[in-house]
C-alpha cells in the first residue's frame, strides 16, 4: 500500500500536487479561521446548523415514504447515503468559500496598498475598506438549507397554513 501511495505521489504532476496542497490548505483554513474570525465562525455554525436541520427533516420524511428529489443524491431514501454524499459536499462548499475569500482578500490587500494604506493597520483600526470574509457561497446555501428544512417540515405536518386570503391565492 505504501508503494502504491508513493508511486501515485510521484506520478502526479507538480501542478496537480500544488492544486491538492492548496485544497488541503483551505480545508484546514475552514476550521483554523473559526478560532479567530467571529464572522466566519458564525457563518460556519449557521451553515452546519441549517444543513443538519435539512438532513434531519429529510430523514424524517424517509420514514414516511418520501425520497430525496435532488438528483445529486440519486433519488435516495437512505439517511446514510444522504449524509455520506452531503457531508463532503458541504465541506466542499465551505472550502470553496474559504478559497474565494482568500482570493478576494488578496485583491483587497493589493487595492489598499495601492492607495498607500497598510492592510494590517487598516484592519486593526477598522478601516471600512478592510478585507473580511465574503460568504458569497455560504450565505445563499444557508438560506437554501433553511428553506428546504421548512418545506420538509410543512410536508411532514400536512402543509403550512400561511393565512393568505382566498382572493389573493
Per residue in 41-97, pLDDT tens?
Answer: 888 899 999 999 999 998 988 888 888 888 888 877 889 998 999 899 998 888 888
Domain ranges for the chain, please list them. 34-156
Q: Are 138 and 92 in contact (CB under 8 A)?
A: no
∠96-31-117 over CA atoms, to 5°?
A: 75
pLDDT at residue 107, rounded to an integer = 72
pTM for this model (two decimals) = 0.68
Q: Are 104 and 96 in contact (CB under 8 A)?
A: no
4-8, 12-16, 36-40, 59-63, range with greatest mean pLDDT? 59-63
164: alpha, beta or left? (left if phi > 0; alpha if psi -120 to 50): beta
Amino acid at each position: 500500500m505504501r508503494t502504491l501511495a508513493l508511486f501515485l505521489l510521484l506520478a502526479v504532476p507538480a501542478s496537480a500536487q500544488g492544486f491538492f496542497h492548496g485544497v488541503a490548505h483551505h480545508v484546514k483554513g475552514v476550521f483554523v479561521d473559526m478560532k479567530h474570525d467571529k464572522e466566519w465562525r458564525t457563518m460556519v455554525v449557521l451553515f452546519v446548523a441549517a444543513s443538519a436541520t435539512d438532513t434531519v427533516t429529510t430523514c424524517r420524511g424517509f420514514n414516511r415514504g418520501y425520497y430525496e428529489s435532488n438528483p445529486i443524491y440519486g433519488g435516495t431514501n437512505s439517511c446514510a447515503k444522504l449524509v455520506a454524499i452531503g457531508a463532503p459536499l458541504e465541506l466542499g462548499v465551505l472550502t470553496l468559500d474559504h478559497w474565494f475569500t482568500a482570493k478576494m482578500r488578496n485583491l483587497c490587500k493589493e487595492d489598499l496598498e495601492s492607495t498607500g494604506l497598510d492592510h494590517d493597520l487598516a484592519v486593526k483600526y477598522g478601516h471600512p475598506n478592510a478585507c473580511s470574509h465574503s460568504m458569497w457561497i455560504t450565505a445563499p446555501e444557508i438560506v437554501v438549507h433553511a428553506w428546504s428544512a421548512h418545506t420538509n417540515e410543512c410536508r411532514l405536518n400536512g402543509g403550512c397554513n400561511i393565512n393568505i386570503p382566498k382572493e389573493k391565492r
